[in-house]
A and B are shown apart, each in its own frame.
Chain A
Amino acid sequence: MKIEPADVSKVALLARLDLSAEEMQAMAAHLSGIVGYVQQLQEIDTSGVEPMAHAIELRNVMAKDVVAASLSRDAALSNAPRHDGEYYLVPAVLGE
């Protein structure tokens, strides 16, 4: 299974990473190796086997719908890289 730098570039955009050209080369080699190894799963007959998404397969877990204390706005904003005391600040999305 060969993964090319062009594939890596597409996935990096999906993953919101911004790999350098050097990282792109190394990533293509590493991913090719790992995905190649993972190919061995294809040799197992899994027809009729239900996918197992979780270690304990719980039914819906319900909680009483009551108001409880939640984080204050100050606490919620306290770790934000940029905020104005009311909102998180991000780079302009729609232009200046």
Chain B
Amino acid sequence: MSLLDHSALELLALLQSNQVRAEQVVTESLSRIEQLDPPIGSFLHVNHDGALAAARDVDRRRHLGQPVGALAGLPVALKDLICTIDQPTTCASRMLANFRPPYDATVVARLRAADAILIGKTNLDEFAMGSSTESSALQRTRNPWNRDHVPGGSSGGSAACIASDLVPLALGTDTGGSIRQPAAFCGITGLKPTYGRVSRYGLIAFASSLDQIGPMCRSAADAALLLQATAGHDRHDSTSADVEVPDYLKAIAQPISGLRIGILRQQLDSDVDPEIHRAVTEATYVLKSLGALCQDIDLPHSQYGVATYYVIAPCEASSNLARYDGVHYGFRATQLTAAELTASESADLESEGPLVRMYRRTRETGFGAEVKRRIMLGTYALSAGYYDAYYLKAQRVRRLIRQDFDRAYQQVDALLGPVTPTPAFRFGEKSQDPLSMYLGDLFTVSANLAGLPGLSIPCGITVQGLPIGLHLQGPSFAEPTLLRLAHAFQQATDWHARRPPTS
């Protein structure tokens, strides 16, 4: 029995009633990371001393009867593209391998104010571009359920550390499914909030109109707790929503009887793994038995989601990543001396000049293959003569995708379907064929394009022993409804309580 077998809410109750000290919780988390993480590879950086010092400070203040924050003493892991002033922030890229942010992201400042313990930074696909965490330039992360399989991505490290019970709470980010897909692959609960619900200030940008930070935990109740502490308007992020934050923990306690759920029949009956089809169908029976009203519904343009997304996201990425120029921060390629230059390099230097040569060599060396591919794709789609045909066209289809959701939510309160067409795949299975990797995002990208919330919860395990995710989506700011449905499901089933086999 480990302290970390408890949910975040249970741990919080133990801490608040002085049955355990924050230092005990953090020590247990650190020792589990030290013992169990090496074969999994969730963490890129462990904030050992800082976490212990923060935990002792919480214990001291609690002992003195001083006020402490809402998450006082709970360890939280952060995906390593969220800026922390006291820890490296690498985006799992050579480009930022030595980057030390000069400020905290707003979510980090809020977690510190809540006295959460920032335990470390987790691995990801480089700059969050990928669906398997294989594009990390720094480390491989394995799926705790089967180490020959990927943990999903891009928030693969955050998903794997939750699945291994190394920490009770983690933050991920979701641009096209990067919270929900690894949550599905690792058998945990992951929520992508409504665009603007959580501040993006200090989140290193991939695609600014799509990126959103959200909780990754073992249960919907714990996700409600973490969302509560991180959501809300922020004047540092002009796209953050000035909308009141409801009481999520209160919301999840409500019964779901009478809620109307639209089953995404087309997605479910498309080319989905039969075991996923069965598990998702069985989940609908559970929700029906709890009083939810189910009907089939269709999002006619969602079949174009991947095509739309893989124009818009790379276009935004190519613009956002232009900042990595080897001047202000990050990696710079060393300048070659005249003696080191080959004939063709001399010719390039002559025609392009020393500054452009430095930019090009820096970016060529600092970025990995997938990041370069997306920069190239975005630059191509935005270049003269192609802008209307690709970028503008994709933006028009994006509106049609959003309108499909708006129509659906006139009839139902939430949508239900699979998170992924397949369970976690093997290393190397898709990494040589980018398009096949992209097609795996089919069910998740539309929520990002529309800016709407989506949640993944475990709803089954395949014969091979790999978790299956259930996708719940809702209208703008419907996080309370989604968490309420997920919590009711988790009260009635135990899929979220299953753990990977220990070896």
Contact = CB atoms under 8 A, between A and B. Distances in A.
Interface string B433-458: 01100100000000011111000000
Q: Chain A at the B interface: mostly helix, strand, loop or mixed?
A: loop
Interface in A11-63: 11-19, 23, 27, 30-31, 33-35, 37-38, 40-42, 44, 46, 49-56, 58, 61, 63
B308 A17 contact: no
A76 interface: yes
A79 B330 contact: yes
Interface in B322-336: 322, 325-332, 335
A46 B355 contact: no
A80 B326 CA distance: 8
Interface in B358-378: 358-361, 363-364, 367, 369, 372-373, 375-377
Nearest to A89: B327
A77 to B, nearest CB: 9
Contacts of A23: 369, 372
A75 B307 CA distance: 41
A79 B241 CA distance: 31
Contact of A8 (B102, B103, B376, B434): B376
Contact of B238 (A34, A46, A51, A61): A61
A85 interface: no
Tell which of B102, B103, B322, B394 has the most Cβ of chain A within 10 Å.
B102
A89 B364 CA distance: 20
Contacts of A14: 379, 383
Interface in B225-281: 235, 238-239, 241
Contacts of A81: 326-327, 329-332
A93 interface: yes
Given A18-B363, A52-B402, A31 B102 contact: no
A33 B380 CA distance: 14
Given A56-B241, A80-B328, A91-B335, A18 B361 contact: yes
A12 B376 contact: yes
Interface residues of A, number: 50
A17 B399 contact: no
Given A16-B360, A91-B354, A93-B354, A79 B328 contact: yes
A67 interface: no
A9 to B, nearest CB: 11
A54 B363 contact: no
Given A35-B380, A50-B399, A91-B335, A55 B210 contact: yes
B421 to A, nearest CB: 16
Given A18-B360, A92-B354, A55 B396 contact: no
Given A14-B379, A91-B335, A78 B102 contact: yes
Interface in B65-100: 98-100
A26 to B, nearest CB: 8
B399 A16 contact: no
B393 A46 contact: yes
B24 interface: no
Contacts of A27: 372-373, 376
Nearest to A92: B354
B353 interface: yes
Given A38-B390, A44-B301, A51-B392, 5 more contacts: A31-B373, A37-B307, A49-B400, A79-B102, A79-B330
Interface of A: 3, 7-8, 11-19, 23, 27, 30-31, 33-35, 37-38, 40-42, 44, 46, 49-56, 58, 61, 63, 71, 75-76, 78-82, 88, 90-93
